[in-house]
Chains A and B, each alone.
Chain A
Amino acid sequence: MASSSDGGTPSRRVDPAVAAGVEAAVKAAQAHAARAAARLKTQSHCWAALSTGDTRQILDAVRLLRPSAFDSVRSFIATASAADPRVHVRMHSLLDAEAEAVTSDARQFERVRDALEKLVTTRLYPTVFGLGEGDESAETEFEANLAIARDTLTHDRLGVSPVFCDGGAWTASSVMLHRISRHRAPADKLALIVNACRLIERRLHTLGVAEKKASIAERKRADATQRRQARELQIRQVREIQIRQGRELLKRDDLSSDSQRPADEAAVHSFKRLHVAEAIPKASLAPATNGASDHGAAASEEGGDMGSEDADEKAGSEALDVTIGADEFFPVLLWVVLHCTPARLCSELSFISRFRHPDKLRGVSGCYFTHVRAAVKFIEMTARVSEPETAWPSGAADSARSMQGDPRLPREEKDDDDEEEEGQLGPGRYASAAPAPAQPSTLRTTAGRWAEWLIGGVPAIADEPRAPSTRRDDDDGGLNNELRGQSSPRMPSVAHGHIGSMGGMELGRHDSLVEEEEVSAAQLLGFY
């Protein structure tokens, strides 16, 4: 026992060391496993992030998967200048290459490219916006053209329904268009344009349906009156016939004895009753007169009624199928652009067309974008054609007025306020483009961190509090407030009324797109 205990003691004495060694080994193994798991987790996290639509998450993932991407992006931003007319071409090919290096999946590729595009364009914005070839001259030219075109292109010449113009149906679209200048990334600007266009289309559709409904109701009413008149006529005719028959019978009655013509008894009786009932409204007379014939008439009439109603309903559902194509949409868009032109529209369009990826401008959003470009082009053309003949003074006066930042058209209060908005935004746009002034603190702090991150200081994938969610709320709130004109001082009460009439559903549905885009835009603004 002793020996065993002796033998045991040293072994026990050794034990702690062994145990320590083992423990250390186990710890090391565990740490290794944890690191491996963490790495694995991060990797899979990265890949998952690439599949989200969140710009920030994607950028975090890209940073981990391919740190060198940010070096090249940084050096590109440092060297880019507005003087280079092909700066956007270089940017797109760089981003294509970087995104391709990160992922081979076509979908992820697009997302990564878009995220990088958002990052770079947000950074480049002050350097290149409005400074492209001919941007400045185009802007002043457009201002002048606008004034001329406004005189020439009236809504009846364009074929825009006055209901649309005066009813403020375009207010929400104009708000969207004015918001373009608050965003830096071309993708966000484009999203706003698309939303504005869709709102116009939606509104046109609603108006079209309402108009059709009204005309159908009108037709139905007309039909009903016609039917009623026909029925009355029929009743009158039946009565006249009966009266005539009755008179004849009475004459015969006078000539011959009562007993000779018992069969006519009923007719005489009914005729007498008819005379008594003369004062009773005609319609109620009908059933009392001639049972058989009138019943038949009523039945046939009823049948006719049902038939026509069926047809009406059918025609109604078909007729309510209003299609709004470019034929209807474009003139209205033109009118909207003409009357609520956002600040520096030409520069905005040129910026988007250069810095949004060309592939994206070939899709549906590109189509709407092209409609807006076409509208601007048409305004230019109209001005060029009508310049010599329209009285110059009015054009000059108008352009002078718009230069001063005065309301361009005092047709509605809304317009004035839009101008105000424009004025507020215009000069300070470069300096402070934070979308909502209410939460500068959150934006600032994130700005710091993001700036550090871009320069390469802090590893940003660490669990930073998810600021986007709070900002999303704020931003969302801002948008909603703005659109409903409730708490934003910029929105006039008139617009509130108008937008209220827009119907919440359609607004809500289209806002979602912008909202998402805006969140990422706010994130990217943190780089300043």
Chain B
Amino acid sequence: MASRTSSYKVVLLGEGRVGKTSLVLRFCRDTFVDGQPPTIQASCLERALRLGDKTVNLVIWDTAGQERFHALGPIYYRDADAALLVYDITDTDSFKRIQVWVRELRKMVGDSIQLSIAGNKSDLERQRVVSRQEAAEYADSVGAHYAETSAKQNRGLDELFSSMGKRLLASREEKLGSPALGSGPASTRRSRGAAMVLIDDEPPASSSSSRCC
């Protein structure tokens, strides 16, 4: 049992039309064996990522990006391990929206969540309005990882997700205490238990939201 699989919940946030669905779809679909029917179900996707001797399973939860559904965010990112915030480099508003989300995430979930910011549509360099430097500085200031991607040309995706996977692994190891690592299923189980307690231990948030929704 040299390798073990751990599953992580990644919430996908971003305005409509920034191409977040295509981004994730491209990332998840590329690993599929040829001849398999293409994925249609894109609102929830799963992909296993191989990092060294470990396999990281990312479950990516897409969210509706329309303005009016913004308030539903907390239901989705409540116990997420990571959030992927996507904006469009040709659209300033979408970048501003990301900043709102980051503030909200930090306020509601705290520092336990790993943030990644993706500037999508990097193939449209000519129409760029959000500079790379500005975005990178912002990402640094909030402790997020920043990458420019192009879902259309399949650029920057692997780097984005593998960095996310690495940071997720590192943070979980930190949380669990690294000695538990080598012991195979037992450690998986411990992590399971930990995840469970984590959820049960926040009745104020859950009871209000789980009452009727």
Contact = CB atoms under 8 A, between A and B. Distances in A.
Contacts of B9: 362
B193 interface: yes
Contacts of A142: 212
A358 B199 contact: yes
A378 B210 CA distance: 13
A362 B196 contact: no
A340 to B, nearest CB: 17
Nearest to A103: B185
B113 to A, nearest CB: 14
A380 B212 contact: yes
Given A138-B212, A353-B210, A367-B59, A359 B76 contact: no
A205 interface: yes
Contacts of B150: none
A198 B12 CA distance: 19
B43 A329 contact: yes
A323 B42 CA distance: 7
Contact of A323 (B25, B64, B79, B192): B25
Interface string A59-102: 00000000000000000000000000010010011001000100
Given A362-B9, A367-B59, A376-B213, A326 B40 contact: no
A155 interface: no
A205 B7 contact: no
Interface string B38-56: 1011111110000000000
A370 B75 contact: yes
Contact of A331 (B20, B63, B64, B196): B64
Given A362-B195, A363-B46, A325 B21 contact: yes
B99 interface: no
A327 B66 contact: yes
B62 interface: yes
B40 A202 contact: yes
A371 interface: yes
A368 interface: yes
Contacts of A261: none
B156 interface: no
B212 A141 contact: yes
A104 B185 contact: yes
Contacts of A280: none
Contacts of B199: 358
Contacts of A92: 196
A374 B210 contact: no
Contacts of B185: 104-106, 109
Given A141-B212, A330-B43, A346-B212, A96 B76 contact: no
A89 B71 contact: no
A381 B213 CA distance: 11
Q: Is the interface of A mostly helix, strand, loop or mixed?
A: helix
A330 B69 contact: yes
A349 interface: yes
A377 B76 CA distance: 12
A359 B61 contact: no
A364 B59 CA distance: 7
Contact of B65 (A327, A353, A362, A367): A327
A358 B196 contact: yes
B189 interface: yes
B62 A326 contact: yes
A324 B212 contact: no
Task: Please indicate which of the listed interface residues B43, B71, B209 has the most CB atoms of chain A within 10 Å of its own CB.
Answer: B43
23 contacts: A96-B189, A104-B186, A105-B185, A106-B188, A201-B40, A325-B62, A326-B43, A326-B63, A327-B65, A329-B42, A330-B43, A330-B69, A349-B210, A350-B211, A350-B212, A358-B199, A362-B195, A363-B7, A364-B59, A367-B43, A367-B61, A374-B69, A381-B71
Given A358-B195, A368-B44, 4 more contacts: A106-B185, A327-B21, A327-B62, A362-B79
Interface of B: 7, 9, 12, 16, 20-22, 24-25, 38, 40-46, 59, 61-66, 69, 71-72, 75-76, 79, 185-186, 188-189, 192-193, 195-196, 199-200, 207, 209-213
Interface of A: 86, 89, 92-93, 96, 100, 104-106, 109, 133-134, 138, 141-142, 159, 197-198, 201-202, 205, 321, 323-327, 329-331, 346, 349-350, 353-354, 357-359, 362-364, 367-368, 370-371, 373-378, 380-381
